[in-house]
Structure 1
Amino acid sequence: MPLAATGELVTRAAATHSAVAAFNIITLEHVEAVIAGAESADAPVVLQVSENAVKFRYGRLLPLARAAAVAADRARVPVALHLDHVQSDDLLRQAQGAGFSSVMYDAARLPYAENLAATRAAVDWAHTQGLWIEAELGSIGGKPGQGGRERAAGPPLDAHAPGARTDPVEARSFVAGTGVDALAVAIGSVHAMTTRTAALDHDLLKRLSAAVPVPLVLHGSSGVPDEGLVAAVGGGIAKVNVGTALNMAMTGAIRDFLAAHPEAVDSREYLSVGREAMAREVARLIGVLTRPGEPRSANPA
């Protein structure tokens, strides 16, 4: 079916107290696996291309974006394209006309005032192009140079360090001052975790949900246990980003296959195994995110 719009999927999820899963893609196998998993779960899904993935693809956005758009057009479930963790204004402007309906503009590495000003400028341009914009406030961690309002450079700030968490009052002001359509919040998750031991601050999430009038997004979800994800959706999260979990599924399956078949040289053999493992993980995680949890508190009018 035709490409869906990220904003519509997230808005619908927020209105029904659920969440849409958004998976970061790097290869065509990622694209095919995410769509296959979403079709198995009979659920809409968002395909995300990060700035780091663009760098990996020799700095070229269109080859992966075009492949994802064609695959999405043939999917049996709604599929949207999202440009993720964009720091480059040049890359931001490439989103228009490349099939993307949304962008996560990432100025969270900057002090608060600079983050707000840069995000406001990005939103002003993006909205003229019909793009839905997500931003981040606080330090989710796991990425060099992230420091929230207190730090502009240096090593990642620990997700549990003072000043790392998103402040509800500041978040409400940030949303009002930037005009963003969704906000990624720092509540204890960390990017690129390979263990599922992240402890989310669910009390803070409830306060953020009550304070912020736009949908909330959870980054670093691969490190959150299933029950934590269920509680996060119940607490107000409407979009859940997943990346590392897919790479772990793919890499583990390929590693096991090659260990059992050391003579293998045909990449189709082990890539198909990795693709199937990712598809299973996509379907499983979508099932987790659609599991009934505690009802969330309604946002104030």
Structure 2
Amino acid sequence: MLQTGIHHVTAIAGRAQRNLDFYTRVLGLRLVKKTVNFDDPGTYHFYYGDEAGHPGAILTFFPWEHAAPGRLGVGETQEVVFRVPAGSIGYWTHRLVEKGAPHDAPEKRFGETVLAFRDPDGMRLALVGVPGAESEPAWSGADVPAEHAIRGFHSASLLVGRAEPTGAILTDVLGFREVAREGSVIRYGAGDAVLGGLIDLREAGNFPRGRPGAGTVHHVAFRAASDAVQAEMVQRLAEVHGIRATEQKDRNYFRSVYFREPSGILFEIATDDPGFAADEPAESLGQSLKLPRFLEPHRESIEAALPALT
């Protein structure tokens, strides 16, 4: 079956060091790529994920030192949700307490145990206990024991004015189908995708619109197996839904097009290839600052402008 689902999620953070510490040391994710925002090279672009940086496991950040806090509202991603083994929710509850991360009591959603929490910028995150996840490979190079480690994305929850127009894009263009409903939430699934296979739409009606800033999601990227599949999606988006995507942009580790879905959330369609080992060996991912070819001549000035990291 053609693989679909979430490719990555990109968010906005404040201080770079604080962001790096939280995602690698508290959540135990691997820093799989340390580069810069190609459109604003004075800012880092961090990619966190599993050992190999598989699609469906990558959360990325633009850490702008003086970014004002964002505000959640319609047209925003409400929550980014990770998968952990079903028996690990207790471990994570204790860990979040120990690390001083604000969190809610575990609750049931769609029959699954969910632990919601926030990062240092207030971004809304959650962990879902998934039966059988303990048998999946896990990144073991962090402070979190492999048996409790995060295993990629479970889902992303989107806050929309009306669910139907966004649902039509998910089902007609991006390879999802409706799989469940609970209260005001409609759940969509991407076939048999293990990582990042679910999107929840929360219909919020006339709730105020969100404001981008630190602690909010910049965009959600969906998978395309190839350039040809991506082009088919872009064509269908235009012909059936009257939405035009941008031209394709080369992001070194995938090739992307962007568009806004009917509630205003920025969506991306990203190719699976060439992946994060395109410019450094898999065993040393994230250890050195990687720049695209067009920025390499400016490396010295870029490195001088970036905040120091420890």
Alignment TM-score, normalising by the size of structure 1: 0.32
Higher relative contact order (CA closer than 8 Å, sequence separation 6+) = 2
Higher helix share: 1
